[in-house]
Structure 1
C-alpha cells in the first residue's frame, strides 16, 4: 500500500471491523484517526461469542475468502493467547455434515471430521477453530493500532493527528472531513448512510463460571428456530443464544436467560448450577450482503463502506480490513454492495 503512506484517513467505528481496518491502514502507512460513538468495550463486538466460522454471511464466495485470510491471522495470534485473546479450541458444529462443506474445509482444516456418538448425539463436525475472547482482543487491537501509528507518526501530541481514538457521535458522513473516510459503523449505517437494508438481529447471552468445560459446542434446532452454544473462555463460559429478527431491545429477558441455560445444560450437563456472572445483549448488524464498496464523492474525497457483517464480523475481519484498505487507496475494485 505504498501510495497510502501519508494519506489521512478517518475510520468510523471501534468494533472489531473498525479497529482491524484501522490497524491495517496504520501499518500500511496511513495517518489514521478513529471516531466512534462508543468505546470498543461497549460495542456489539465486545458481546460476540466469537467462534471463527463463515456462518450466514453473503456473498458466500467473497465471505469465504475473507474468512480464510482472517483464519491465517488468528492462527498466528493464537501463539500469544493471553495478549491477543485468541486460542485454537476443539469443539462440535452440530447439525453440520462434512460432505456439505466445500473442498476448502478439508484442505484448510485438516482435523475436520464427523463426530462420534459419544461426542455428539446427532450429526456434527469435530473441529479445531479459533475462539476469541473479545474484550481482550479489542484491547489488543486498540494497542496495536496506537503502536503502529506512534511508530510512524510519533505521539498524537506532536500534532500529526494520527493514532487517536475519539468518542464522537457522527450524524452525517460529511462531518468526517478527511480525504479518505472508511465507514465501519455496523448497525449505525442504517441511519448514517442511510441504508435501511441494515437491520438488527438481537442476540442474548448468559455468562457463567466455567465448571471445567474445555471444548465448545454449537447446536441448531431448525424446528424450534434456536441455536444453542457453549463457548469456554479461560475465566468463564459464554452461553447462547438468540436470533431475534428486527428486535432493538438491549435489555436482557430473564425468561430467555433461563431457557438459554436450560438448553446449554442439555448439551453440557456441567453447566447446570453454574453461578451466573452476567447477562449480555448484542445487536448483530445484518444485511443481505456485506457492503464493501468504494465511492468517490463530488468533492473528490473517498468514502469506503465496510459494514453489514451480521454475526460473522470476527470471522471475516482481517480479510475485509485488507480489502477496505486497498479500496481506500485505490488498489482494488469494489467488492460487494
Structure 2
C-alpha cells in the first residue's frame, strides 16, 4: 500500500457530501482524490428534489448550525444559477409552525407564518435554495478539479486499505457494509417529473393522519412531484401505483398538475441513521479515517457545514 504525503486525502464517495467535502479540503490546500463507485450523476444525490430544509436528520443540536452554514453558501451560489444550479425560490411548508422548529429557524432570513392566501391552513412561507442537481453535481466536480483535486471511479471494500494519510468516508448508505455500520438504513423516496404547467413556487405538506408527505418543486427540467418515505425498502424500481398517487396528491393542491405530461420517474434511497456520524477515528498505523455519513434526507441541506467540520477533523495528522 502506497501512502502519500501528509497533505494527501482520499474522499470515498462521490455524491453531494463527498464532492462538497473534497472541494473544501482542496481549497484549503490538501491534495485530494475522490474515489467513487459511480459517477455523481448516478448517485442518490442526483435524484434528490433538493430543497434546502433539515429533513429526517439528527442530532438537531448540531444540524441547525451545519444547515445555516450551507444556507449562506447557497445564497451566494444563487447569484449564478445557470452555472451552479442553485436558485432562491419562494414556497410554503404546510402543517409547520415556527415554534415547532429548533433555534436555527429564527436565523433563516424571511421565514414567517404563511398568510391565508398562501396556504389553506397552518404553514410557513420561505424563500429557500432549490438546487438543480444535474447542474450542481457537475459544477462541484469542476470546482474540485480547478482546485487541483481528482475524481476516480474505484470500488473501495476496506477503508484501512486506502493508501492515503487521511481517508474521509462519505459513502452514505454504502457505509452500512463498508464500515460496517448496520445503523445506516435506507428510506426509499419516489418522485415523478412532469412538464411544468406554469408553477413557479414550491410546496410541501404532510397529512398528519397518515404521515404521507406531498411536495412539488419547480426545477428547470420539469416539475418534481413527491413523495414517499418508505423505511428499510431497497427497491430502486418505480411503482406505477405509487406514482399515480403522488400525482393525485399534488393535483389536490394545483389541479393543473393532473393533466401535465409525465417526463420521468426517480427513486432514491436516503441514508438515514439515528444521528449523522461526523467524527475522526485513528487507524492502527497512525493514519486517520474521518467519517461523514448518515445525513438522511438532508445531505444537500447540511453539505457545506459538514464538509467544513470534516476538513477540521482531517487537519492534524502525525
TM-score, normalized by the shorter chain, greater than 0.5: yes
Cα contact 1:6–1:29 (8 A) shared by 2: no
In 1, distance between residues paired with 2:73 and 2:112? Answer: 23
Q: Deviations over 1:136-162 (max 9, x none)?
A: 10010000000011xxxxxxxxxxxxx
Q: Cα RMSD over matched residues?
A: 1.3
In 2, distance between residues paired with 1:104 and 1:314? Answer: 16
In 2, distance between residues paired with 1:77 and 1:228? Answer: 27
Partner of 1:29: 29
Partner of 2:18: 18
Cα contact 1:240–1:260 (8 A) shared by 2: yes
Query: Which of 252, 259, 280 is the equivalent residue of 2:245?
Result: 259
In 1, distance between residues paired with 2:160 and 2:283? Answer: 10
Shift of 1:309: 0.1
> Structure 1's 69 and 110: CA in aligned 2 closer, same or farther, altered over 3 A?
closer
SS in 2 for 1:166: strand
Cα contact 1:202–1:281 (8 A) shared by 2: yes
Q: Deviations over 1:217-264 (max 9, x none)?
A: 000012112111000012311100000000000000000000000001
Cα contact 2:68–2:108 (8 A) shared by 1: no
Return structure 1 stretches of 4+ with deviation > 3 angstroms.
101-104
Deviates more, 1:85-94 or 1:322-331: 322-331
Partner of 1:100: 100
Q: Structure 1 stretches of 5 or more lacking a match?
A: 150-162, 332-337
Cα contact 1:205–1:257 (8 A) shared by 2: yes
SS in 2 for 1:289: coil
Shift of 1:54: 1.5
SS in 2 for 1:21: helix
- 2:297 aligned with 1:321, yes or no? no
Shift of 1:57: 1.2
Q: Deviations over 1:263-306 (max 9, x none)?
A: 01111222111111110100000000000010111011110000
Aligned residues: 313
Cα contact 2:166–2:314 (8 A) shared by 1: yes
- 2:165 aligned with 1:166, yes or no? no
Cα contact 1:184–1:306 (8 A) shared by 2: yes
Partner of 2:203: 217
In 2, distance between residues paired with 1:113 and 1:218? Answer: 15
SS in 1 for 2:276: strand
- 2:98 aligned with 1:112, yes or no? no
Cα contact 2:57–2:298 (8 A) shared by 1: yes
Partner of 1:159: none
Partner of 2:294: 308
Cα contact 1:6–1:31 (8 A) shared by 2: no
Q: Deviations over 1:122-142 (max 9, x none)?
A: 210011111111111001000
SS in 2 for 1:288: coil
In 2, distance between residues paired with 1:314 and 1:253? Answer: 25
- 2:272 aligned with 1:276, yes or no? no
SS in 1 for 2:115: coil
Partner of 1:74: 74
TM-score by length of 2: 0.96
Partner of 1:127: 126
